[in-house]
Amino acid sequence: MLARFPIVTLILFACVSSALADIPIVDTWKFNRRQPPKRWMQPDFDDSRWVEGPGGFGTPDTPGSRVGTYWDSNDIWLRKTIEVTEVPQKPALLIHHDEDAEVYLNGTQIAKLSGYITEYRVVPIDAKHHDAIKKGANVLAVHCRQTGGGQFIDVHLVDADNVPELPPAERNTTPFQSELITKWGADVTPDNAWTEYPRPQMERDNWTNLNGHWQYAVTEDSVTEIPKEWMGQILVPFSPESKLSGVQRLIEPDEALWYTRDFPVTQNAKDKRLLLNFEAVDYRCEVFVNGTSVGEHVGGHTPFALDITDHVQTGSNTLTVRVEDDTEAWQLNGKQTLNPRGIWYTQVTGIWQTVWMESVPQQYIEDLTIRTDASEGTITVNVETVGEAAAKVVVTVYDGDHEIVGNSSDGEITLKVKSPQLWSPDSPHLYPLTVSLIDDVGETIDTVKSYAGIRTVGKTQDAEGHWRFTLNGETIFHWGPLDQGWWPDGLLTPPSDKGMLFDIEYLKAAGFNMIRKHIKVEPRRYYYHCDRLGMMVWQDQVSAGHNPPWTRMQPHPQDADWPDQYHNQYMVELERMIDNLESHPSIVVWVPFNEAWGQHRTMEVGEWTVKRDPSRLVNVASGGNFWPVGDIADHHSYPHPDFPFDQDRFGDFILVVGEFGGHGYPVREHLWDANRRNWGYGGLPQNEAEYKQRYVTSIEKLLELKQQGIAAGVYTQTTDVEGEINGLMTYDRKVIKIPAKDLANLHERVTGH
C-alpha cells in the first residue's frame, strides 16, 4: 500500500545502537478499544481497568511493524508512563502509525497525524509543545484509528539527536479474555471436570480419573529438570490459555509447560498392570513418575497410554508432565495460531483432554477393531492383547440386554446376526458387546464392554450417471454443518460432556444427517454420541502450515514440498487418528487435507488412506487442490454454493460442496469480542430477516446443484467461533439464531425426509 504523509513535516534520522539513559524505551502500555471518557489523555486519569500489553499494536502482516499485541478493531486508545531524567533539546516521536493518530503528552496534544505510513519515522515535537515534557514521570497517550485491513500503531518519546534502536517486540502472554462462558462452563468445578469414562468402545470398570487441580510451572524450553517451585493451580483437562483452566496464559514456542500432581497406589494394584492414559496432550510431552521418565509422545490430538507399573510404589506417587508446543512450526496445529485473527483461533497447549489410570491384569485386552457388513449381517472383532497368550477370546453380542450370538477364537472373530437392525441416521441401532480373555482352565482374565453398529458405506451411480453416497446399499444425500468444536471457555476442550452433546442434539433436531468435524479430533465420547444418536461424520485430519499455491479445482495442481521427517510425522498422526476412531459406525468419510493447508504428496497420502481403510470413502482434499485419488471431488464456495461442472476431470468422483454459507449475524452480549471486526462471508446482513433469507437462498441453490449431480453439502457453521459470527448458534451456545424446528422443516427437501 502507498503511504499518505501526515500533515506535519517529517525528518528522518539515523538510528544508533544504544538507548538513551534519560528516555528509556517503554514497551508496556495500558490499552482500551472502547471510547473512553473525555479525560482519557490526562496524567491523573484512572486507567486501572484498561488492559496491559506490550507494544506495538496491530496485525503482523503490516509492513514495517513489530507487533507485541494483536489489534484489529477500528479504534484503540493507549497510555504509558515514561521516566525522563533529562529533557532533550530536540524532543521527537519515533512513530509508526495508521490512518489517524493523535498523540498527547501529559494531557497536551503534541501531534495529529493523518494517513498511514509503512515504517518507523522520527517526527519532531513542535517547539511550542516542549514545555509539555518534564523530568520524572511523563504520560504518553495515543488514539489511533484504522478502518481497513492491516494496521499498526507504536509511539516512543526520543531525542532526535540520538534515536534509539527498538528491541524486538515482546509478545503479550495474556490471551484475549472474553466475558463469554457457556452454562456448562459456569458449572465446572475441580470435582466434576470431565468425570465420564473416556473410551466408550472399550470400557472397563476399574479406572481412576486424574482430572482436577494440578500444579503448573512455565520455564524456558532449555530447562529439563523438574521444577522445585510451582506457579499455581491449573484445572486439568483445560489448557492454560483457556478461561476454565484458571490460568489464562499463552505459552511461548521457546517455553516448556510443566504439570504435577500426586496419586495413590494400593498394595492390591501392584499385583496388576497400571496403565496411565492421556486422551490428548498438545504437542510434545514427556511423562515422569516419581522423578523417572516413563515415556514420551509427539502429536497433539490422539490418545496414548503408558505402563507405569514398574515405577510406582504403594502409597503416594508423583506424576509430572513436561510439554513443548511450537504451534506454528511443522507440527499439526489445526486452527491454532500465535496471533488469533479471522479464521485462526487462540492457541492451545498441554493437556486438553482427560487423564486417567486403569488397572488391568498381567494379560489384558489392549485394543479392539470392529468392522461390520450390512449385506451379510456380520460383526467382525479383531482383538489385540498384551502379555502371555490367553487360551481364547470370547465375543458376545447383545440386543439390549438379550444375548443373541457369541463366538470364541484366538484373535479375530466374526459373528453373524440374524435379521440385523442396520445402523443409519434414521435408525442408529447399536449392539452391545462384551469381549473377554479366557485362560486354559476357563477362568476370565480380562473383560471389556463395547458396541457395534452394523452398516456399510459405499457409492453408486444414479440413472443420470451421477455418483451418489450410499449407506447400506441405499442412496443418501450427506447434509451437515462444518463443525469446529471450539468453545469460549474451554477453547478446544468442551466444558463438559453435556455441553458437547448439546451441539450434536441441536444439529440432529435441525434435520442434519452429517457433521464435518473440521480440523479437530474430538474426545472419543463425541463419536460415541454420534454413534448412538445417528449422526454421520466426515472426519478431517488436523492440518499444518507450509502450503502449496491454492489452485482449488484447476488442472495441474502443485503439492507443497515437505521434508521426509515432517511428512513421516504427519503420517504417524493420520494413522493414529484412524486407528483410534475406525470402529465408530458414525464415521463415513476421511478427509486428509483441507484447502491446501499443508497439502503435500497428495496422491501418496490418498492412496495410503484408501488402502488403510477400504470400509470408508476418502475425500483427499476438501476444497483443496484436486488430485485424482480417493472418491470425492470437493469444491468450496462462499457465500452461496456452486460447483465447476464445466470440467470433465471429475467424472469418476462423487461431487460435493464441502463448504458454503458462512452467513454472519452478530448477537449483542454474545460476541467473543464486541470491539473487533466480527465478520461473516459476504458481509453482514442489515437485520435478522435478511440473515435468514440468505440462508434460505443458499438452500435453494444447493437444491439446484443436487439436481445437477451434487451429492453432499456442508454449511459453515454450527457456532460462532471467536471473531467468526457465522454460526447457527452464538459461541456461548446461549442464543439459537435459527431454531432447530425451522431448520428441520427447511431441510426436508435437502435430505428427502
Ranges of each domain in the chain: 28-159, 185-360, 370-452, 457-751
The residue with greater pLDDT, 543 or 410, is: 543
String of b and e for 94-111 (b: at least 16 CB within 10 Å)? bbbbbbbbbbbbbeeebb
Among candidate residues 678, 685, 664, 667, the one with its CA nearest the CA of residue 722: 678
3-state percent helix, strand, coil for the chain, nearest multiple of 5: 15, 35, 50
Task: Give phi and psi for 50, each to the nearest 5.
Answer: -75, 160
pLDDT at 172: 87
The lowest-confidence range among 293-307, 520-534, 676-690 is 676-690
pLDDT at 5: 34
CB count, 10 Å around CB of 533? 16
What CATH number is given for 457-751 in this structure?
Answer: 3.20.20.80
Confidence of residue 545 (pLDDT cuts 50, 70, 90): very high
Element (H, E) at 238: none
Report the alpha-carbon distance of residue 101 to residue 94 in Å, rounded.
Answer: 13
Q: What's the grid cell of residue 602?
A: 497428495
For 647-674, write each residue's pLDDT tens digit.
Answer: 889 999 999 999 999 999 999 999 999 8
For 170-181, write each residue's pLDDT tens digit.
Answer: 888 999 999 999
Residue 2 has pLDDT above 50, yes or no: no
Residue 271 has pLDDT above 80, yes or no: no
String of b and e for 188-200 (b: at least 16 CB within 10 Å)? beeeebbeebbbb
Q: What single-letter DSSP state applies at residue 148?
A: S
For 62-120, write each residue's pLDDT tens digit.
Answer: 999 999 998 988 899 999 999 999 899 999 999 999 998 999 999 999 999 999 999 99
Q: How far, in Å, are 54, 55, 68, 94, 168 from residue 27 at the CA level?
A: 5, 5, 9, 13, 10
The matching CATH number, chosen from 2.60.120.260, 3.40.50.300, 3.40.50.410, 3.90.380.10, for 185-360 is 2.60.120.260
Residue 212 has pLDDT above 80, yes or no: yes
Beta carbons of 360 and 213 less than 8 angstroms apart: no
DSSP output for 325-380: --SSSSS--TTEESS-BTTBEE---EE-S-EEEEEE-SSEEEEEEEEEETTTTEEE
Mean pLDDT on 387-407? 83
Q: What is the largest CA-CA distance in the chain?
A: 101
Same fold, 28-159 and 185-360: yes
Report the alpha-carbon distance of residue 653 to residue 632 in Å, rounded.
Answer: 5
pLDDT at 341: 86
Element (H, E) at 66: none
Task: Find all residues with CB under 8 Å of 282, minimum gap 6, and list them.
Answer: 239, 300, 301, 323, 325, 348, 349, 350, 352, 492
Confidence of residue 4 (pLDDT cuts 50, 70, 90): very low
For residue 237, whether the previous peptide bond is cis, meaning omega lies within 30 degrees of 0, is yes
The lowest-confidence range among 20-24, 271-275, 496-500 is 20-24
Q: How far, in Å, are 317, 455, 500 from residue 259 at the CA level?
A: 14, 43, 26
Of all residues in the chain, the percent with pLDDT exceeding 90 is 85
For 28-75, write each residue's pLDDT tens digit.
Answer: 999 999 899 999 999 999 999 999 999 999 988 899 999 999 898 889
pLDDT at 675: 85
Instruction: Round the average pLDDT of the chain to a whole number and report it.
Output: 93
Residue 389 has pLDDT above 90, yes or no: no
Report the alpha-carbon distance of residue 182 to residue 488 in Å, rounded.
Answer: 7
pLDDT at 289: 98
The matching CATH number, chosen from 2.60.40.790, 3.40.190.10, 2.60.40.10, 1.10.10.60, for 370-452 is 2.60.40.10
Among candidate residues 531, 431, 422, the one with its CA nearest the CA of residue 470: 422
Q: What's the grid cell of residue 214?
A: 494440578
DSSP output for 430-495: -EEEEEEEE-TTS-EEEEEEEEE----EEEEE-TTS-EEEEETTEE--EEEEEE---BTTTBTS-S
Report the alpha-carbon distance of residue 750 to residue 512 in Å, rounded.
Answer: 9
Beta carbons of 442 and 436 less than 8 angstroms apart: no
Report the alpha-carbon distance of residue 142 to residue 74 in Å, rounded.
Answer: 14
For 398-439, write each residue's pLDDT tens digit.
Answer: 998 888 877 777 778 999 999 999 999 999 999 999 999 998
Report the alpha-carbon distance of residue 339 to residue 70 in Å, rounded.
Answer: 7
pLDDT at 407: 73
Task: Find all residues with CB under 8 Å of 546, minimum gap 6, and list them.
Answer: 330, 560, 562, 566, 598, 600
* pTM as predicted: 0.91
pLDDT at 576: 98
Domain spanning 28-159: which superfamily? Galactose-binding domain-like (2.60.120.260)
For 556-592, write each residue's pLDDT tens digit.
Answer: 999 999 999 999 999 999 999 999 999 999 999 999 9
Residue 719 has pLDDT above 60, yes or no: yes
Residue 262 has pLDDT above 90, yes or no: yes
The lowest-confidence range among 508-522, 526-540, 646-660 is 646-660
Q: Determine the 3-state secondary structure of 694 from DSSP.
A: helix
For residue 87, what are the β-bridge partners? Answer: none
Tell me the pairing of strands 69-70 and 57-58. Answer: parallel
CB count, 10 Å around CB of 646? 5
Residue 382 has pLDDT above 90, yes or no: yes
Mean pLDDT on 442-465? 96
Of all residues in the chain, the percent with pLDDT exceeding 70 is 96
Mean pLDDT on 124-146? 94
pLDDT at 21: 42
Report the alpha-carbon distance of residue 265 to residue 525 in Å, rounded.
Answer: 27
Task: Give phi and psi for 229, each to the nearest 5.
Answer: -125, 145
Give the dihedral sign, CA 508/512/514/518. negative
pLDDT at 390: 64
pLDDT at 647: 80
Residue 11 has pLDDT above 70, yes or no: no
Q: At 292, which amino acid appears?
A: T
Confidence of residue 1 (pLDDT cuts 50, 70, 90): very low
The lowest-confidence range among 157-161, 284-288, 539-543 is 157-161
Report the alpha-carbon distance of residue 372 to residue 106 in Å, rounded.
Answer: 75
Report the alpha-carbon distance of residue 655 to residue 707 in Å, rounded.
Answer: 12
The lowest-confidence range among 397-411, 657-671, 706-720, 739-753 is 397-411
Beta carbons of 78 and 97 less than 8 angstroms apart: no
Element (H, E) at 61: none
DSSP output for 389-446: PPSEEEEEEEETTEEEEEEEESSEEEEEPSS---B-SS-B--EEEEEEEE-TTS-EEE
